[in-house]
């Protein structure tokens, strides 16, 4: 695979990955491209098919996995999620920095590929704050919230293992976390901007 080095953003559901990523993409228009994942979960209000996710059925997704269309896939909180080869190729064909938002299982699978991304974990300051953010977001049922909190406990432990992530950002104060993220990606951003000028 060619083009600038991709970026994997991972971390517990509700830690703030999408918030940070959307801001980064808005501030650096024409630099980043989002790898649009497939999922079998239902769209949330405001989410667009083909932009936030490719919303699909379990049957169709299993068929795609069987065909070898995905570089990684995982079951998360009762739904399937996966990164298609096409999602990455679409971004890399435009010479943009490809951003992938995947869970810890996805991180493990991507490490077995030749993608060679920068691995960044976005972590909440505490479980209590994470739970509050997820509840306030009002996107989950009590059941899915509990599943996400359980997955978060595992994620928070695994992210401490040396060598899994290049950087771990604690998203306490949003401004500070965002500045830290920009700083890490500064070199890659500059490379893309210079290539475009």
Ligand X SMILES: Nc1ncnc2c1ncn2[C@@H]1O[C@H](COP(=O)(O)OP(=O)(O)OP(=O)(O)O)[C@@H](O)[C@H]1O
Ligand Y SMILES: Nc1nc2c(ncn2[C@@H]2O[C@H](COP(=O)(O)O)[C@@H](O)[C@H]2O)c(=O)[nH]1
Nearest to 134 by CA among 142, 8, 78: 142
Interface residue with ligand X, options 5, 133, 147, 191 (CB under 6 A): 133
**Is 4 among the residues that bind ligand Y (CB under 6 A)?**
no
Q: Tell me whether residue 137 is one of the annotated catalytic residues.
A: yes
Only one of the segments 21-29, 71-79, 120-128, 170-178 lies at the binding site for ligand Y (rule: CB under 6 A); that segment is 71-79
- Binding-site member from 54, 101, 159, 165 for ligand Y (CB under 6 A): 101
Cα separation, 160 vs 162, in Å, equals: 6
Q: How far apart are CA 10 and CA 173, in angstroms?
A: 18
Our finding on whether 40 is near ligand Y (CB under 6 A) is: no
Instruction: Quote the least distance from Cβ 113 to ligand Y, whole Å.
Output: 13
Q: 40, 83, 123, 171: which one contacts ligand Y (CB under 6 A)?
A: 83
Beta strands in 49-133 (DSSP E): 54-55, 70-76, 79-84, 97-101, 118-123
Q: Does 106 bind ligand X (CB under 6 A)?
A: no
Cα separation, 42 vs 189, whole angstroms = 33
Residues acting as catalytic residues: 44, 137, 148
């Amino acid at each position: 695979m060619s083009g600038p080095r991709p970026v994997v953003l991972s971390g517990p559901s509700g830690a703030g990955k999408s918030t940070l990523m959307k801001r980064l993409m808005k501030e650096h228009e024409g630099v980043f491209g989002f790898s649009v994942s497939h999922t079998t979960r239902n769209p949330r209000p405001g989410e667009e098919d083909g932009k936030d996710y490719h919303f699909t059925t379990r049957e169709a997704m299993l068929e795609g996995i069987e065909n070898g269309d995905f570089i990684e896939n995982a079951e998360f909180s009762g739904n399937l999620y996966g990164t298609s080869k096409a999602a990455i190729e679409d971004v890399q064909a435009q010479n943009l920095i490809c951003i992938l938002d995947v869970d810890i299982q996805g991180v493990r699978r991507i490490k077995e590929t030749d993608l060679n991304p920068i691995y960044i974990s976005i972590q909440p300051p505490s479980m209590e704050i994470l739970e509050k953010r997820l509840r306030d977001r009002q996107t989950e049922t009590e059941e899915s919230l509990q599943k996400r909190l359980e997955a978060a406990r595992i994620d928070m432990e695994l992210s401490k293992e040396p060598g899994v992530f290049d950087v771990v950002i604690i998203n306490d104060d949003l401004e500070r976390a965002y500045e830290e993220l920009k700083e890490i990606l500064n070199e890659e951003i500059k490379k893309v901007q210079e290539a475009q000028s």
